Amino acid sequence: MTHKFIRGIAFFVAVGWVSLALAGVGRIPLPKLPSEDKYGNVIMDRVSSRTGIAPVVFSHWSHRVHFTCRVCHTDLGFTMKKGGSEVSMADIRNGLFCGACHNDDIAFSAGAEEVDCGRCHGIGALPEPVKFRQLRARAPAANFGNKIDWTKAIETGLIKPKNSVEGQYSPFEFEKSLVMEPGNKTVPAVTFPHKKHTAWLGCESCHPDVFNIELKGTLRFSKQEMLNARYCGLCHLNIAFPLDDCVRCHINVWPE
């Protein structure tokens, strides 16, 4: 038997093991996932509907091709909490938030007086599905979410997202992986690879607000908390690959 075949068998055994373990502790139903091209879309509607304007539809996949997560969530000040960023058209026209890129220089203008509002607000803001299908056809495959392994897409050079709008940021490289043992010993341990996360985020994205490293070993979090968009669920619920992909975190068996 070939090495690839053996790893494939190991993968399916691992999936069964994790599924049975989770079922044994009363698995919590996961939210229904949208279609691949719409996975990661966020509706931004802090004030739009109240003022008679369609909400903004933000597509993560189409922006992720060009910029890493830290550009928006660190440099540009977008919080990762729903409704947490008080974005106004005045801000955008002054080059803040979306206006840092959508200025007719880096990307189409979103702040001009005469602008097609439908490019951001409403269903018309969604990228063309055909463009997504073209990207997915060339990208490394994954099992859930957009069905694209975005980290491998960087590693293979398919995409080269910038770490800064101005291109002056050098990411901090930290390769240590953490093994986190769950309280229920029937569930496999979680392996957390820092390197794959720092390819997209800065350390400040998670520490100390999401995970307080000064309280090492004292934090206890559950799947229900993740489903409430806390801890890993802050990203791995609707944006990064979803919680449905159990074996990408709970066991170190993944076919090449």
Q: Nearest 5°: CA angle at 74, between 68 and 75?
A: 85
Across the chain, which has 256 residues, the per-10-residue mean pLDDT values are 48 48 57 93 90 92 95 93 87 94 92 82 80 96 96 96 84 86 81 92 90 71 88 94 91 49
Model pLDDT for residues 194-222, shown as the tens digit of each residue = 999 999 999 999 988 888 877 665 567 88
SS3 content of the chain, % helix, strand, coil (to 5): 35, 10, 55
Instruction: State the greatest distance between any 2 C-alpha atoms of the chain, in Å, as a whole number.
Output: 65
- What pLDDT sits at residue 25? 41
All domains in the chain, ordered by first residue: 3-30+171-250 (3.90.10.10), 42-125 (3.90.10.10)
Query: 57: which strand partners?
Result: 43
- What pLDDT sits at residue 117? 86
- What pLDDT sits at residue 47? 86
Question: What is the DSSP code string of 50-65?
Answer: GGT-PPEEE-HHHHHT
Residue 160, amino acid: K
Q: Give CA–CA dist 120/122, Å, rounded.
A: 7
- Look up residue 4 and give its DSSP letter: H
Model pLDDT for residues 9-49, shown as the tens digit of each residue = 444 444 454 454 444 444 678 889 999 999 999 999 988 89
Two structure tokens written together for 79: 């919080």
Closest alpha carbon to 233 in 71, 17, 82: 82
Closest alpha carbon to 53 in 115, 122, 124, 102: 122
- What pLDDT sits at residue 21? 47
State the residue for tokens 């055994």: 13
Q: Residue 84 burial (CB < 10 Å; 0-12/13-18/19+)?
A: exposed
- What pLDDT sits at residue 27? 60
Grouping H, G, I as helix, E, B as strand and the rest as coil, residue 138 is: helix
- What pLDDT sits at residue 5? 46
CA distances from 60 to 26, 42, 45, 238 (A): 32, 8, 16, 10
User: Residues 70, 200: contact at Cβ < 8 Å?
Assistant: yes
* Strands 42-44 and 190-193, sheet pairing: unpaired
Which residues are CB-neighbours of 29 under 8 A, at least 6 positions away? none
CA distances from 140 to 52, 135, 143, 158 (A): 41, 10, 10, 9
- What pLDDT sits at residue 100? 95
